[in-house]
Amino acid sequence: MSKIEFSLDANAYRITLNDPPLHILDIAMLEELRDALGKVNNDRHCLIITASGEKSFSAGASVQDHLGDRAVMMLRQFHGCFRILAKLDLVTVALVKGAALGGGCELALACDFILASDRARFGQPEINLGVFPPVAAYQLSRQMPPRKGLELLLTGEVVDANGIANAIFPAAEFDRRADEWMQRLYKQSASSLRFAKRAFRLAQNADFDERLAAVERLYLEELMKTQDATEGLNAFIEKRKPLWRGR
């Protein structure tokens, strides 16, 4: 069964993560996600990224796929998706009803807008495994006040949607309220939205590829060669507390 559903209507493309209950982003799912992103053209108002069910948007990237030689392939697939998203001219919107953790949080943050349920939770718990999230290191430094972004990165704390989402709706009303919010975009010219977004990115002097490449080198060539990174990932898989050595 496909782990990604792809559809479109007159206004939007829709990509739905469909590997419940947690929608773990393993290499196979990321390949499907990248293929789906490749089908998106600049002929609609928006791309919507959401997930089936209510429990989770995504609990993050597969820990097993971060071990050994698979880590390089995982980052190549994962970051390839973000590079495609970063270059899209049409507006991207994440609809988050449940937990968006680790890579799931990064995926939501990669969208232009986040609409969240009051049950949604966000967090980057990678530090608890002795690693850090490369994309979030870039995102949080740009999207949040520096001290708060660094706090989320270094503590692994899980928080509600306040300060992260553009709008928060009661869970029971989420679908209706999110659709009403989207109508604000749908009433505009789709081409004008794309040009306005491009202008905004130019004003930011966006250099996502260059900065992400630098973070990738730090992650793969330094962090992933430490004893603590290996220990943290193995401890998670073995369901035990890690024994940190500080190296």
Model confidence over 132-174: pLDDT tens digits? Answer: 998 999 899 989 999 999 999 999 999 999 999 999 999 999 9
Please answer whether residues 131 and 224 qualify as being in contact, where contact means their C-beta atoms are separated by less than 8 angstroms: yes
Question: How does the average pLDDT of the chain come out, rounded?
Answer: 92
**Cβ-proximal residues to 47 (8 Å cutoff; 6+ apart), any chain:** 12, 13, 14, 15, 40, 88, 90, 91, 92, 93
pLDDT at 121: 98
| Structural domains in the chain, sorted by start | 4-172 (3.90.226.10)
pLDDT band at 219 (very low <50, low <70, confident <90, very high): confident
Please answer whether residues 61 and 107 qualify as being in contact, where contact means their C-beta atoms are separated by less than 8 angstroms: no
pLDDT band at 247 (very low <50, low <70, confident <90, very high): confident
> Tell me, what amino acid is at 14?
R
- Residue length of the chain: 247
pLDDT, tens digit, 9 for 90 and up, residues 67-106: 877 888 888 899 999 999 999 999 999 999 999 999 999 9
Instruction: Quote the tokens at residue 6.
Output: 């792809």
Q: How far apart are CA 189 and CA 193, in angstroms?
A: 6
Cα–Cα separations (whole angstroms), residue 92 to 95, 111, 121, 184: 10, 5, 20, 14
pLDDT at 68: 78
Is residue 129's pLDDT more than 80? yes
pLDDT at 112: 97
Q: Which pTM value belongs to this model?
A: 0.87
